[in-house]
Amino acid sequence: MTDTNLRTPLYGWHARHGARFVPFGGWEMPVQYTGILDEHRATRTAAGLFDVSHMGEATVSGAQAALFLDYVATNRVGDLAVGRARYTLLCAPGGGVVDDIIVYRTGPQSFLLCLNAGNTPGDIAWLSEQAKSFDCIFRNASADYAQLALQGPQAVEIAARVAPPAVHLADVPRFSFVEILLSGAPVLASRTGYTGEDGFEFYLRPDQAEPFADALLKVGADLGLKPCGLGARDSLRLEAGLPLYGHEISREISPLQAGLGWAVKLDKPGGFIGRDALAAEALAGPARRVVFFILDDRRVARADMVVSAGGKPAGKVLSGTVSPMINLPIGSALVERAALDSGAALTVNIRGSEVPLRLAKPPLHKSAK
Amino acid sequence: MSSIPDDLRYTKDHEWLKPAGDGTALVGITDYAQTSLGDIVYVELPKAGAKFEAGATFGVVESVKAASDLYMPVAAEVMEANSTLESMPELVNEVPYGAGWILRVKLADPAAVAKLLDAAAYAKLI
């Protein structure tokens, strides 16, 4: 652990709750408290509380804020209603992914962006530069926010316990958000998440993060709420089939290869950065695809292991772990489309053995055998 | 604080060895090792009769986040692998010096055990 890694406002809180720390994206973050398997299962059966304050935030405001965002984003932004959020990619001219983000429309001419932690400095620099051509103000707002995610079947019930009686958090639709007082603190509560479960992501002032986390743990204790670290965050999102930047999407893996074409609106008026390259790729069909899989084995597939089709190398594993719900290894892989189309049996090389790979549709813990 | 029983011998790769006094020994991984690995989900074990030199890789322990090689502390032949680990790999986390033992081996040279680290020396390492 180096001193140069940043710490979130909850660092001391994590330590007091028995966290083990790892460096991640320039931050010293809790990887686990009671254990990844335990925390993952708690989130799927009750609820988990995650510190995601390492994520970056930015604000865009002004007459051309929507126009600017529609230019840099693959998805539609301009038609977002106030109080609504949307997932989108930011692409480079060649179609590679710069980052995947969530955009929140906080007002007629104002937006909040949530950026991946490791990409934040690059995103800020790149977006600032692009924003200069538009009548808008782009601001790095990361220092203004702590962020907590509350996810699981009991998450909404737990959140409701810290909400004022007049606010019905259960009525907030998925991908909508409200700005209210929770446990006495002004919070932007969005019905979004990165686990495949119901729940909220909370944006709040850094100095209010600890009391808020304490309040949630207290009211959620009898419902089984547990603090969860980045280890469980990763196994949950992989099991749910959600991409992680640097794995399923990157400068080398386009949204179309990653199966995220639904977030790419090629016919957006005015186009967007990367549009022409992606349109050409859509026409030809992506040459390789991200797929998700389950192994009927005990050995775990790990990133960079070679995937073969009919015994011939055809791709590689992108992410791999064990599903704590079905107790089988799961993962994602990048495979040549020709190999997928051929129907040849897929295998992954684990320490010299070719282990059969069963393609599956996420959520992987609910995928039929 | 990591548990380091006094009556065991240790390696710098965080394995422990417990001689039975009759030329056989039990082998496992230390409390420090299981804590570092996190939740263990599978242990790849050798078959009875397999022989290994000191320092040779005899198996693999898979945790949620990574796979780690297991190294034989002293030259030995495998008599038995802990078959309970097949259904309960978490025993290595929960009882690393007891029910979480990994191998029972026949020592090629019982005198070699004295060259392993004692508890005090291992404690200094970690």
User: In whole angstroms, what is the distance from residue A267 CA to residue A81 CA?
Assistant: 20
What value does the CA radius of gyration of chain A take, rounded to a whole number of Å? Answer: 21
pLDDT at A46 over 60: yes
Same domain (yes/no): A40, A155 = yes
| Cα-based distances in Å from A82 to A184, A185, B93 | 24, 21, 50
A158 and A226 in a single domain? The answer is yes
In this structure, are residues A290 and A316 in contact, taking their beta carbons and an 8 Å threshold?
no
Asked if A148 and A161 touch (Cβ cutoff 8 Å), the reply is no
pLDDT over 70 at A260, yes or no: yes
Residues sharing a CB contact under 8 Å with residue A141, sequence separation 6 or more, in sequence order: A57, A58, A59, A112
- Answer yes or no: do A32 and B38 touch at CB < 8 A: yes
Q: What CATH number is given to the structural domain containing A136?
A: 3.30.70.1400
Same domain membership, residue A223 and residue A158:
yes
Q: Which domain holds residue B91?
A: 15-107
Q: How far, in Å, CA of A201 to CA of A365, rounded?
A: 23
Q: Which of A109, A127, A143 is where one domain is finished?
A: A143
Q: How confident is the model at residue A3 (pLDDT cuts 50, 70, 90)?
A: low
Same domain, A73 and A44: no
For chain B, 126 residues long, give each residue's pLDDT as a single digit of tens.
789 999 999 999 999 999 999 999 999 999 999 999 999 999 999 999 999 999 999 999 999 999 999 999 999 999 999 999 999 999 999 999 999 999 999 999 999 999 999 999 999 999
SS3 B82: coil
Domain of residue A188, residue span:
11-53+145-239
> What is the tens place of the pLDDT at every residue in A107-157?
999 999 999 999 999 999 999 999 999 999 999 999 999 999 999 999 999
Count of domains for chain B: 1
What is the pLDDT, as a whole number, of residue B1?
72
Question: For the domain that residue A313 is a member of, what is the CATH number?
Answer: 2.40.30.110
Cβ A52 vs Cβ A260: under 8 Å: no
pLDDT score recorded for residue A201: 98
Contact between A186 and A179 under an 8 Å Cβ cutoff? The reply is: yes
Question: Does position A268 have pLDDT exceeding 80, yes or no?
Answer: yes
Residue range A271-286, pLDDT digits in tens: 999 999 999 999 999 9
Total number of domains in chain A? 3
The answer to whether residue A16 is domain-embedded is yes
Same domain, A177 and A298: no
Question: Does the residue A48 lie in any domain?
Answer: yes
Residue A312 has a pLDDT of 97
What is the spatial distance between Cα A60 and Cα B34, in angstroms, rounded to a whole number? 47
- Listed by number, the residues of chain A in 277-316 with a beta carbon closer than 8 Å to a beta carbon of chain B are 298-300, 302
Q: What are phi and psi of A220, to 5 degrees?
A: -95, -5
Residues in chain B: 126
CB-CB contact of A95 with A278 (8 Å): yes
Give the helix/strand (H/E) hosting B33.
helix B31-37
Q: Given a cut of 90, is residue A4 above it in pLDDT?
A: no
Has residue A260 been placed in a domain? no
Q: Which residue of A has its CA nearest to B44?
A: A299
Q: Flag whether A247 is in a domain.
A: no
Q: How far apart are CA B31 and CA B37, in angstroms?
A: 10
| Residues A360, A293 contacting (CB under 8 angstroms) | yes
pLDDT tens digits, one per residue of A192-214 = 999 999 999 999 999 999 999 99
pLDDT at A131: 98
Give the C-alpha separation, A28 to A7, whole Å. Answer: 6
Q: What share of residues in chain B are helix, strand, coil (percent, to 5)?
A: 20, 35, 45
A248 falls within a domain = no
Q: Quick check: A1 pLDDT over 80?
A: no
Strands (DSSP E) along A160-252, which ranges?
Answer: 177-182, 185-190, 199-204, 225-228
Query: How many pairs of residues across A and B have Cβ atoms under 8 Å apart?
Result: 41
Pairwise CA distance, residues B47 & A336, whole Å: 37
Judging contacts by C-beta atoms under 8 Å, the chain A residues touching residue B64 are: 36-37, 231, 235, 321-322, 324
- Give yes or no for residue A368 having a pLDDT over 80: no
Q: Which among B38, B67, B93 has CB closest to A300?
A: B67
Q: Give the per-residue pLDDT at B3.
A: 94
Task: Note whether A231 contacts B67, CB cutoff 8 Å.
Answer: no
Token couple for A214: 């304490």
| pLDDT above 70: residue A2 | no
Does one domain contain both A173 and A222? yes
Report yes or no on A267 lying in a domain: no
Q: Give the model's pLDDT for residue A156.
A: 98
> What does the alpha-carbon distance between residue A73 and residue A79 come to, in Å, rounded to a whole number?
13
Q: Give this prediction's pTM.
A: 0.95
Nearest CA in chain B to A298: B42
For residues A268 and A270, what is the distance between their CA atoms, to the nearest angstrom?
6
- Check CB contact under 8 Å for A321 and B65: yes
The domain boundary residue, chosen from A93, A108, A143: A143
Looking at the complex, report in whole angstroms how far the Cα of residue A156 sits from the nearest Cα belonging to chain B: 28
Residue B59 lies in a domain: yes
